[in-house]
Structure 1
Amino acid sequence: MQELDSQEWTEQSKQDRYTLSFIHSPFCATCHLAEKMLRTLEELYNEEVFIKVNASLNPSAMERFQIESVPCLLIMKNEQIVKKVYAFQSVPHMYEQTAEYVKQ
């Protein structure tokens, strides 16, 4: 899982493919647990799937994409929001939320 700065993240989100961004804060304990779940999924998918974005360092993007809380999984294509996931309930749940957007 690669962490991107604001400019890199903006460029990634413009692509004509699904971008799965893990929005987090380093001070959020729940975010650390959610990140472990996503890393488990990356092992399952056998590739880096998620982009890591620090909400604290990207306040304008958080406002633009109306991120209400962290952790958040923001799924986008061509800078359009496809889905937001706030409840990282379990690895199987997150697999269900992400599988259709991986490798497309």
Structure 2
Amino acid sequence: MEVSSTEALKQSIDGHTLAAVYLYTPMCGTCQVAGKMMDVVEKLPQSFHFVKANLNYLPEYAEEHSIESVPCLLLLKDSVEQERIYAFQSVPFIYETITKNA
């Protein structure tokens, strides 16, 4: 699910116990590679609700959550951050990180 406003993002997160929020910008080459990894991980068996958000449309959210760079993956449980990933090393790395936070 892709959202384009802070309010839509917060509503999407609040509706799920486990949420994986993938933050990117369209002109970021690393984000394009990470996005493809996220598409694969999302299809694997896991219990997270996935949300994609273009950070260009969410400056308040980026400031509120101190997002340092993109790509960024926030793993949330009951809307509370459990882990943050900036280095998308591989699909197995992301999948293992997600499953250990479930």
Match of 1:61 in 2: 61
Match of 1:11 in 2: 11
The runs of 5 or more residues in structure 2 that have no matched partner are: none
Cα distance in structure 1, aligned partners of 2:95 and 2:46: 13
TM-score computed with the length of structure 1 as normaliser = 0.85
Contact preservation (8 Å) 1:26, 1:54: yes
Contact preservation (8 Å) 2:12, 2:51: no
The percent of aligned pairs where both chains have the same amino acid is 34
Cα RMSD between the aligned structures?
2.0
Match of 1:73 in 2: 73
Counterpart residue type for residue 2 of structure 2: E
The runs of 5 or more residues in structure 1 that have no matched partner are: none
Q: Taking structure 1 as reference, are residues 96 and 71 closer, same or farther at Cα in structure 2, changes over 3 Å only?
A: same
Q: Deviations over 1:38-61 (max 9, x none)?
A: 111122228984210111100000
**Greater mean alpha carbon deviation, residues 28-37 or residues 76-85:** 76-85
